[in-house]
Amino acid sequence: MGCVRVLVVEDEPLLAAAIAEWLRDDAHAVDVTGDGAAALERLTVNGYDVLVLDRDIPVVHGDEVCRQLVASGSATRVLMLTAAAAVTDRVEGLGLGADDYLTKPFAFAELAARVLALGRRSRPADPPVLRRAGVALDPARHEVFRDGRYVPLSKKEFAVLAELLRADGATVSAEQLLEKAWDEHVDPFTGAVRLTILKLRRKLGEPGLVDTVTGVGYRIP
């Protein structure tokens, strides 16, 4: 499905950093915070696909974060990540509205698989392979082909191409691409999207595939 926008709420800095690094290696855009109040603030500003939520966090407890998110009607999916491993704890967490529950210690590969599965549920289902104008993008294998030729892409290039293909010919703004493919620390004035599009065009080759719609954004017609 391409890039998943994830918010990790974990008050153990080393664990939070490790989770973020693992998910970014899968080409996801990841933001991190260590307390519930900051999490609620970010959730009102950014459109996250998945929230990885430790229950026992400071300022606002993870349970209350989950309650408020569910009550808001948000499409963000919640993965509770906690040391509370008893069946009653899992039942309670799911009863609060969490979509999934993973106990510590955990395997990073399993966490990544669960995040991807929840990300799929937060959006309309994509076809197994995204196709347009001779391009085939396989999210599961993380492979791209143009007219049968393999195209090696960086994680950001892959995420941007996935969003353009998913738009099915519609124009996607630079702001929308930043929202889906980068985390909140990116400077919107750095030209990151423009540079990534430039590299993507070069790798996809001729004839040119990605059009610029002046003042609006980019599209694959």
Q: What is the pLDDT of residues 119-177, one digit of tens each?
A: 877 665 556 788 999 999 988 788 999 999 999 998 889 989 998 998 889 999 988 88
pLDDT, position 122: 65
**CB-based contacts of 116, cutoff 8 Å, min separation 6:** 1, 4, 26
pLDDT at 123: 64
Q: 174-218: per-residue pLDDT in tens?
A: 888 887 787 766 666 678 888 999 999 999 999 989 999 998 999
Q: Are 33 and 9 in contact (CB under 8 A)?
A: yes
Q: Is the predicted pLDDT of residue 40 greater than 70, yes or no?
A: yes
Quick one: pLDDT at residue 180? 78
Question: Would you call 94 exposed, middle or buried from its count of C-beta atoms within 10 A (0-12, 13-18, 19+)?
Answer: middle
Tokens of 88: 């009653």
Judge whether 54 and 33 are in contact, CB under 8 Å: no
Per the CB < 8 A criterion, the answer to whether 178 and 193 are in contact is yes
Nearest-angstrom CA–CA distance, 33 and 17 = 10
* pTM exceeds 0.85: no
